[in-house]
Amino acid sequence: MALADNIKINLMKQTQTPLKVVLLGMEGQFQALLKKLFDGPLQGYCRIINDDTADFAILDMDSRGARALWLDFKKRADKPAIVLSLTETHFPDTVCVLKPLQIPDLSVALKKIQSRVGRQKQRIKKRSLIDRNPQIKREILSHLSNKPQKATFDAAELSYNALDVAGFCGDIEEKWYQQEDLPEILFYSPEFHLQGIISSAIKEVRETNRPILLRGLGRDIIVFIGGRYLHTNMPTQQMRAICNITFEKRYIDFLFKRNHSFNTRLLRHKAVKSEGILWDITLWSSRGRLPYGTDIDRPFKLSSWPNLTRLTRTPHALQLAALWYKQTISLRATVILLNVSPRYIYTFYSACHQQGLVQENRHGDSYIERPIVKSSRGILSKLMGFLKRKVGS
């Protein structure tokens, strides 16, 4: 049996209703080729239309004004897309297929898009069912909250001013958070921000056991061996401003140096712990948004408690940490349960996600077993024990 026939049979097994697709930036010959594929090897899988009811789009990235076409489509429809390009291209919520176009590559991309569209439709169906049945909604909230207590008073939150909150949690209008399906404006791509660049540099340092000098950011940043410390003379305000810029890693010059190469530089650079500065960088990058791919209906919990005594504490951070550490819950349910602005919830979630604390439950609402934490004696306990031994002797 021919390869095209095999692909056609496999795709037909996976879908009953053809997905609706809109073609963007297609020239006549290329558009005719895709139509031929959808009428032949991929027959019954896709149906080409020309309006916003499409389930996804296929974009010719090498056409004139391709990026503007994609942004306009996302603004109007907020659906996934397949990007056809001569070079590897990464846009949020897209799957890249390299040219020249090969049927197996396109079939793999179509399967990924089918999965995303299916999950999106399933979420809409579940939310619609809950909205039509107030009793189900009350039971879900009752199960999640288990008679929730009143919000814990957090004295530290009294010190926040409007500038602090906007700097960490953003100033996106509340109307965008009220939409049933979160719009594009509430998501960001960490890998295209300073957050992703620093994370990649730390990973490289730990893998190669060599320090990295990051250039191209206005001020140099040195990631030292072990990745626990960053050395930079970049002012906080400048770093915060850079977090609002999107760029790709290839524009940053990664220079590997030996230890002694940094001796003179380190004297002029302030050392900061990477955990704390990366936490702040994530807050400044997120600003009330979520990483692309976040499912606000997927239950999760924190695998461990964030060190909020050393990390920047955003509004409601203690309340959120206590809730997420105690039980499995989704972001949507968290918003309903705590009745606070989603911007605070999404910002704190993004920071916890960057730290690797988010433990998703991919099997429904079942309890996620918490890893056993070894007990450790505090410094006061050790001191009392030492004094008792001295007195006893």
Q: Which domains does the chain show, CATH number per domain?
A: 3-120 (3.40.50.2300), 152-387 (no CATH)
- The pLDDT score that the predictor gives to residue 384 is 56
- The dihedral of CA 314, 316, 320, 322: what is its sign? positive
The mean-pLDDT minimum among 93-107, 125-139, 152-166 falls in: 152-166
DSSP string, 70-117: HHHHHHHH---EEEEESS----TTEEEEESSP-HHHHHHHHHHHHHHH
Residue 10 pLDDT > 60: no
Residue 234 pLDDT > 60: yes
Residue 359 pLDDT > 50: yes
Q: Are strands 56-60 and 19-24 parallel, antiparallel or unpaired?
A: parallel
- The pLDDT score that the predictor gives to residue 254 is 63
Task: Quote the percentage of the chain above a pLDDT of 70.
Answer: 69
User: Where residue 30 falls among pLDDT bands split at 50, 70, 90?
Assistant: confident
* Tokens 């990664």 found at: 254
Mean pLDDT, all residues of the chain:
75
- The pLDDT score that the predictor gives to residue 374 is 41
User: Where residue 245 falls among pLDDT bands split at 50, 70, 90?
Assistant: confident
Instruction: Over range 41-60, report the average pLDDT.
Output: 83
- The pLDDT score that the predictor gives to residue 136 is 52
The mean-pLDDT minimum among 48-52, 263-267, 342-346 falls in: 263-267
pLDDT, tens digit, 9 for 90 and up, residues 365-388: 433 333 333 444 455 555 556 555
Tell me the C-alpha distance between 362 and 381, whole Å: 40
Instruction: Over range 207-211, report the average pLDDT.
Output: 85
pLDDT, tens digit, 9 for 90 and up, residues 141-163: 554 444 444 333 333 333 444 44
Residue 4 pLDDT > 70: no
User: Where residue 251 falls among pLDDT bands split at 50, 70, 90?
Assistant: low
- The pLDDT score that the predictor gives to residue 356 is 92
Tell me the C-alpha distance between 360 and 293, whole Å: 13
